[in-house]
Amino acid sequence: MLTIKSLHIIFMVAWYAGLFYLPRLFVYHAMAPADDRVGIERFKVMERKLYRGIMTPSMVLTLVFGLWLWLGYGIGGGWMHAKLALVAILVGYHFYLGKVIRDFRDDRNTRSHVFYRWMNEIPALPILVAVVFLVVMKPF
C-alpha cells in the first residue's frame, strides 16, 4: 500500500532525476551543429516533455505531499527551516531551467556546452546532499 510518505519519495526522486538530467540535455543541445535542424528540434521536444510532463508535475506533487506530511506530523525545528530554504532554492532552480528551455526553444541560447556541463554538475547535488543531511541528522 502506498503511503503519503512513499508517494512523496517517489515524486521527489522523479523531480530530482529531472533536475540532474535536463542540464545534461542542454549540454548535448548546445553541442549540436547549427545545421542539424532535426537534432535541434528533437532536443527541444525532449526538454519540453521532460520539464512539462515529468519534472513540473513531480515538483508540484513533491511539494503537496511534503506539505501534507509537514502539517500532519507537525514537524518543527531549525533544521526544518533550513530544509525549506533549500527546497525553495531547488524550486527557483527548477524555474531557471524552464527559462533556459524557453531560450533554446526560441533559438536565443548564448551559452556554450561548457556552461551547461558546470550547470549539470554543480548546483543540484550539494543542495540534495544538504537536504538529505538535514532530514536524517536533524542537527539543530
Domains of the chain: which residue ranges?
4-137
> Above 80 in pLDDT, residue 88?
yes
Q: What is the pLDDT of residues 47-63, one digit of tens each?
A: 999 999 999 999 999 99
- Which SS3 state, helix, strand or coil, does residue 84 take? helix
**Torsion sign across C-alpha atoms 84, 86, 92, 95:** negative
**Torsion sign across C-alpha atoms 108, 26, 90, 70:** positive
The pTM (predicted TM-score) of the whole model is 0.90
Residue with cell 524550486: 91
pLDDT for the residue numbered 125: 75
